[in-house]
């Protein structure tokens, strides 16, 4: 099986996620060749493999005493644990606000590419420390997610 080429890239200029971004916020974006529509790609992205589920379980154990959300808020429309906020034919944005930070993920499908972007707005030092701690794991999970997207057909 050939490994998909997942590359870091700029968030497409027409992404609705740009409306949230302010100085000192975190934003990253990766892309891979795929023709999956945003909803289907988001479903693949949030269907975490066992190793990522284990990391999320460890996160749950470590963050529960601090009152952080582990399953996201109740919502009628979710991808994984993430409430869908915006969905168009080209972009799906999901995520929620928590005590320590606000975050959203954007899945964009266009021109034979799927983009996965993550925006984070830390509220305080706890949010900034949390982001610094999870960032290496976030990168692994994001890149793996897009490789799994590339392996799927629409």
What CATH number should be reported for the domain holding residue 11? Answer: 3.30.530
**pLDDT tier at 53, thresholds 50, 70, 90:** confident
pLDDT exceeds cutoff 90 at 74: no
In a domain, 95, yes or no: yes
pLDDT (0 to 100) of residue 3: 63
Given a contact cutoff of 8 angstroms between Cβ atoms, the answer to whether 52 and 141 are in contact is yes
Chain-centre distance for alpha carbon 137: 12
Q: What angle do CA 129, 132, 135 make, to 5 degrees?
A: 145
Share of the chain above pLDDT 90, in %: 71
**pLDDT tier at 133, thresholds 50, 70, 90:** very high
- pLDDT (mean) for 38-66: 83
In a domain, 2, yes or no: no
For the stretch 80-129, pLDDT in tens is 889 999 999 999 999 999 888 999 999 999 999 999 999 999 999 999 99
Angstrom distance (rounded) from CA 91 to CA 115:
9
In a domain, 81, yes or no: yes
Higher pLDDT, 63 or 131: 131
Report residue 57 as tokens.
């379980």
In a domain, 70, yes or no: no
In a domain, 103, yes or no: yes
25-39, 40-54, 118-132: lowest mean pLDDT where? 40-54
Strand partners, 78: 83
Share of the chain above pLDDT 70, in %: 90
pLDDT (0 to 100) of residue 1: 41
45-54, 79-88, 131-140: lowest mean pLDDT where? 45-54
- pLDDT (mean) for 44-53: 86
- Residues in CB range of 88: below 8 A, 6 or more apart: 16, 38
Domain span at 141: 7-49+76-151
Higher pLDDT, 97 or 56: 97
Q: How many domains does the chain have?
A: 1
In a domain, 141, yes or no: yes
């Amino acid at each position: 099986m050939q490994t998909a080429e997942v590359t870091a890239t700029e968030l497409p200029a027409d992404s609705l996620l740009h409306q949230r971004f302010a100085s000192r916020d975190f934003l990253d974006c990766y892309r891979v060749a795929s023709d999956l529509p945003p909803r289907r790609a988001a479903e693949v992205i949030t269907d975490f493999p066992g190793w990522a589920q284990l990391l999320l379980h460890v996160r749950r154990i470590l963050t529960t005493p601090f009152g952080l959300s582990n399953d996201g808020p109740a919502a009628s429309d979710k991808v994984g644990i993430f409430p869908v906020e915006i969905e168009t034919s080209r972009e799906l944005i999901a995520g929620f606000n928590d005590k320590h930070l606000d975050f959203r993920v954007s899945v964009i499908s266009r021109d034979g590419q799927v983009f996965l972007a993550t925006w984070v707005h830390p509220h305080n030092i706890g949010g900034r420390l949390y982001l610094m701690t999870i960032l290496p794991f976030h990168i692994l999970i994001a890149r793996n997610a897009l490789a799994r997207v590339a392996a799927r057909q629409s």
